[in-house]
Amino acid sequence: MLIGQVAAEAGLATSTIRYYESIGLLPDPQRINGRRVYDAAVIQQLKMIRVAQSAGWSLAEIRGMFVGATTYKAQAAAWQAQVPVKLAELDEIIAQARQMQAVLQASLDCGCETLATCALIH
């Protein structure tokens, strides 16, 4: 498959695919007459990247998780090993968001006429 075909099937820009290659997220494709030629398996890799991003992993984290995992079984094992770490991070983010929400709600409920007299500040 040529890069345009891969991009169309994956719903990505060709520049995104090139970027993923440049940061080591995708292996360098074979080149024929200077044109990138991909194996159909790259579509699965791109779908995995999209799902991992939607779960909150950064591209650097995804690269670290999947580099060296050359089989689908190895990739699944790498994913499963990192899920508890990501869940713990999300729990912390949720706790921080709840704390922020509580402060904002308290500021609505406080009834202070000025910040100088606000109990939240003092």
Quote the CA–CA distance of 113 and 83 in Å, as a whole number.
47
Domain residues for 79? 68-122
pLDDT score for 107: 84
**Alpha helices of the chain — where are they, by DSSP H?**
3-10, 14-22, 41-54, 59-66, 72-109
Tell me, what DSSP letter sits at residue 50? H
Q: Is residue 83 part of a domain?
A: yes
- Note the pLDDT tens digit of each residue in 71-90: 889 989 999 999 999 999 99
Q: Assess contact for 20 and 29: CB atoms under 8 A.
A: no
- The answer to pTM > 0.85 is no
Per the structure, the count of domains in the chain is 2
Based on the domain organization, do 86 and 43 belong to the same domain?
no
Based on the domain organization, do 46 and 78 belong to the same domain?
no
pLDDT score for 108: 84
Mean pLDDT of the chain: 91
Residue 21 token pair = 């290659």
**DSSP 3-state of 32:** strand
Tell me, what DSSP letter sits at residue 31? E
Q: Is residue 31 part of a domain?
A: yes
Q: How confident is the model at residue 23 (pLDDT cuts 50, 70, 90)?
A: very high
Residue 5 token pair = 């075909």
Residue 101 token pair = 């929400």
Please say which residue of 33, 57, 81 terminates a domain: 57
Based on the domain organization, do 118 and 72 belong to the same domain?
yes
Q: Which residue has the higher pLDDT, 8 or 115?
A: 8
For residue 122, pLDDT beyond 80: no
Q: Is residue 62 part of a domain?
A: no
Q: Assess contact for 27 and 63: CB atoms under 8 A.
A: no
Q: Is residue 45 part of a domain?
A: yes
Q: Is residue 4 part of a domain?
A: yes
Based on the domain organization, do 48 and 4 belong to the same domain?
yes
